[in-house]
Amino acid sequence: MFGRKSQSTPVAETQVAAKPSGKGRPTPTRKEAEAARKARLKTPRTRKEQAAAARLARAESSQKMREAMKTGDDRYLPARDRGPVKRFVRDYVDSRFTIAEVVLPVLIVAMIFGYVGSTRLAVIGELVVLLMIVLVVINLVVLLVGMRRQIRARFSEKDVRGTTYYAVMRAMQVRFLRMPKPQVKIGTELPKTYR
C-alpha cells in the first residue's frame, strides 16, 4: 500500500470521436434569414389563402398578356398569336387597307336607309350591302394570295398552316379593335426576316 508502485502498462491513448464541426453550410446573413422568414410567412396555409394566391397569380398573368397584346411581345401572347409566321401575318394584314374595315359603318348607313321608309333608299341600301360583300370577298382573295406567296418566300412550307383563317379574321376586324394591336402603319414596307 505505501510501498513502491508497480510499473503500469502504458495506457493506450483513447481516440476521442471527433464531432463534426459546423452544420454543413454557412450561416445565413441577417438579410437572407429575414427574407426566408418572410417567404415562409407568405406561403398560403389555408384553402382560402391558396385560392387568393392563385387568383393573384392569374391576375398578374392576365395583366402581362394584356400588355403583350398592346406591345406585341411574343413571350406573353396566347399560343394562337405566337411565332414569327403569325407576327408576319399580322404585320402583312395591318400594312394594307382592307375594304372589310369599312363594312361596319357602311352596313349601319344601309340599315338606316332601310328604316327611313322610302323604298328607293331601301333598295339603294340593299345594293350597297351586296356590292360591299362582293368587294370584301375580292379584296380578301387578293390579300390572301399575296400573303401566301410572301410566306412561302420567307418561311418553310409547313409554316403556312392556319395562316389563312388567321389573316381573314384579322382583316375582317376594324383596325383599332384588332388584338394584338397593329405594330405597323398602312403602307409600311415589311422587313425581309422575322424571328
- For residue 17, the model assigns a pLDDT of 53
Per-residue cell: 60: 398578374
- For residue 7, the model assigns a pLDDT of 60
Cα first-last separation, the chain:
100
- For residue 3, the model assigns a pLDDT of 63
- For residue 156, the model assigns a pLDDT of 75
Residues of the chain with pLDDT under 50: 12, 14
Map residue 23 onto helix, strand or coil. Answer: coil
Residues 6 or more apart in contact with residue 65 via CB below 8 angstroms: 76, 77, 78
Question: What CA–CA distance (Å, rounded) separates 155 from 55?
Answer: 40
- For residue 56, the model assigns a pLDDT of 85
83-119 per-position pLDDT tens digit? 888 888 889 999 998 888 888 888 888 888 888 878 8
- For residue 115, the model assigns a pLDDT of 84
Scan for cell 351586296, then name that residue.
130
- For residue 145, the model assigns a pLDDT of 92
**Structural domain boundaries in the chain:** 44-77, 80-177
The answer to whether 166 and 89 have CB atoms below 8 angstroms apart is: yes
